[in-house]
Structure 1
């Protein structure tokens, strides 16, 4: 496949993904977007609505609007911003709720820094597309409260979660599969991503220093210097609390770290992150199956490979391997990206109903009982992958 065909297919795929969300996700009765849609397009109208889902919808349609100038995408972005502003923002204690009911009332009001980061990310992108001052203000408000409430001045980095009133909370986890630890790779990666997007609309020295601090944390604590994989969970002092390898996060971080360095225009960091990007992409190759798909996780403590291929690691592999090829010029990285796209088209994309399945098992059968849209299943990973490839192929 030549690159012009690859770009054309990415443009077509982006339209297909966004069309699916326009057609199936809008909750006309209760406002905003449905909280859940299963693989058979059956709507769960009573499902809770998650802040992460709504922020990712806002980011995706804002970015797509900016890329394509399609008014339909701007309309969805406007709807998403209004819903977040009206239903997720905690007007008493600041920040955003983790979830609301299907009717938009507070459900789980805890303050998960991961969710605040996505609101910063999404509102910054919305400002880029729409020049909305209220969106910029919300992004700044969430950024400042992250710094005020979550930053650890003693050991560096950000604490994971708090009660609604910003008091300590026992359960810090994003989901049931996560370790209940004070600091996580995942939240730090998405705080970095949020700060990077915020810097595009607020290029301050203060924010640049916070981005540089985060890149240093990844280099010093989160990336394993020997393997190139990411450690996932930590205590407050950055002692590692997990031996699991997440191939999807490895390849996602490989390009997001470089993007952050490039946005702040720090030449020394750009050179350092390019070297790290290639090293991390090399580390992920062991997780690529012969069919081109990327396995989910490897549990080192039990020497067990999780033989599932979820949608989002495939999306990140497209960008991460393409990025590694752009840096290194090594053709095998481009081939990994193209092979992954072939795998997606054959096994992950729902060629009948649209969008991508949550994932497939080892025999390529669709994972049962998963969401097509939901708390975690959003248009962000695959939509962003399409947009990144479109931008990178000139």
Structure 2
């Protein structure tokens, strides 16, 4: 019997995230991730190390620090602080200082892509990176970090004046370090993460301009483009937002074809956007369901399990590796959809994805999640070396534990407020 036809019996129909054992298991997995990443990642010269499979720095003492790595660690440390994880405050402050004092370009404005111990390594100004600065500042504001407000104001001004294209309702992708040249490429990935960050900024400040921008991006990327493509999310466009199906880019950040993991990520973000927008944009929930089902129907390996990394435009797998982050995003999306849809399909897949994670992706011996598996599920490192970050896996573990009323940080705060009232 196929998963689409299968229904849960009444004896086993309750969502897993309501069950005490599952909730304890999720928090234990989250704590294991913190144990693996936090102390080992901290670079005494600023920023954070990338870690190998055993939890050791990948590049030694002069490790390159890319802005998304720094900011994601800050975001996760803020989550740790909100749930009461000792040590998270020091990690958060360490990262915030590095963003403000090193990634920030004090002379020309904006935030540079990467640094090492010698200074700037890649000075390009990328919307993808600035989205994560906005996310980090928003999360840091929720825990009261003293740099949060000025960083939030600074990065918001940069996004508004440099990246935001009001005529398209989306952000432009990349400038040279001195802002003198704007590359013609336009991509959904930077815009997807900008949507995530804009929602976090709205939650942190109450400023509806952030939410309006997030809704505009979702309309362009999903309602205008993905919906017309059978809810396959188009990744790559030219400067006029014309789809470029022949684009060949970076395998890690801009792979050719389509990436089912992003369909899953958008599914969760759309439900989040619907809730934050007072549930007035009904197309968002319908699109979220279609995106999730399309990712399962086209992206899930029916033989071995796991999501293929990329598909071509004939829906055939191209990069057949199974990465950790699409699996994590699928879990988060299934959790959000289960909160608002009674169709057993989403709960069935929530369980199936955690089964796969526990059996194949979680590294029970050394900690963290394996970043990459071959098609037959044996570990490999063709695309990603080591264990790149805590961000995706941590959110997969914690999202199901908190109300699906916005971002994870908002859910934690609301749950804490409810607990205080109950006492």
| TM-score of the two chains, using structure 1 as the length reference | 0.89
Residues 157-172 of structure 1: pairs in structure 2 closer than 5 A: 157-170=170-183
Show the counterpart of 1:289: 301
1:232 to 231, 235, 239: 235
- 1:379 to 2:394 alignment: no
Quote how far apart the aligned CAs of 1:97 are. Answer: 0.7
Say whether 1:223 aligns with 2:226.
yes
Q: Which residue in 2 is equivalent to 1:126?
A: 140
Question: Any conservation in 2 of the 1:292–1:340 contact (CA below 8 Å)?
Answer: no
Tell me the equivalent position of 2:244: 241
Matched, 1:50 2:75: no
Partner of 1:347: 360
1:254 aligns with 2:294: no
Look up the SS of the partner of 1:71 in the other structure.
coil
What CA distance in whole angstroms lies between the structure 2 residues aligned with 1:207 and 1:228? 25
Please, what TM-score do these two structures have when normalized by structure 2? 0.83
Hey, what does 1:21 align to over in structure 2? 37
How many residue pairs end up in the alignment?
Answer: 374
Deviation at 1:359, TM superposition (A): 1.2
Q: 1:6 to 1:81 in 2, by over 3 A?
A: same
Question: Could you tell me how far apart the structure 1 residues matched to 2:260 and 2:76 are?
Answer: 23
**TM-fit CA distance, 1:208:** 3.2
Residue 5 of structure 2 aligns with which residue?
Answer: none
Aligned-partner Cα distance in 1 for 2:40–2:128: 26
| Alignment RMSD (CA, Å) | 2.1
Aligned pairs for 1:1-394 within 5 A: 2-3=16-17, 4=19, 5-28=21-44, 30-34=45-49, 36-43=50-57, 44-45=59-60, 46-66=62-82, 68-101=83-116, 103=117, 105-129=119-143, 131-170=144-183, 182-242=185-245, 244-265=257-278, 267-269=279-281, 271-286=282-297, 287-290=299-302, 292-300=305-313, 303-368=316-381, 370-373=384-387, 377-392=388-403
Between 161-170 and 183-192, report the one with greater CA deviation: 161-170
Tell me, yes or no, if the aligned pair for 2:271 and 2:336 is still in contact at 8 Å: no
Q: Is the 8 A contact 1:64 1:73 kept in 2?
A: yes
Alpha-carbon shift at residue 371 of structure 1 (Å): 2.4
Secondary structure, counterpart of 1:313 in structure 2:
helix
C-alpha displacement of 1:325: 2.5
Secondary structure of 1:193's partner?
helix
CA pair 23-219 structure 1, distance change in 2 beyond 3 A = closer
Shift of 1:206: 2.8
More displaced 10-residue stretch of structure 1: 184-193 or 217-226: 217-226
Q: Tell me whether 68-77 or 297-306 shows the greater mean CA deviation.
A: 297-306
Could you tell me how far apart the structure 2 residues matched to 1:301 and 1:26 are?
44
CA deviation after TM superposition for structure 1 residue 305, in Å = 4.0
Unaligned runs of 5+ residues in structure 1 are: 171-180
**4+ residue runs over 4 A deviation:** none
Report the 3-state secondary structure (helix = DSSP H, G, I; strand = E; otherwise coil) of the residue aligned with 2:164.
coil
Please report how far the alpha carbon of residue 285 of structure 1 lies from its aligned counterpart in structure 2 after TM superposition. Answer: 1.3
In 2, are the aligned partners of 1:292 and 1:342 still within 8 Å (CA)?
Answer: no
1:31 and 1:238, CA in 2 relative to 1: closer, same or farther beyond 3 A?
closer
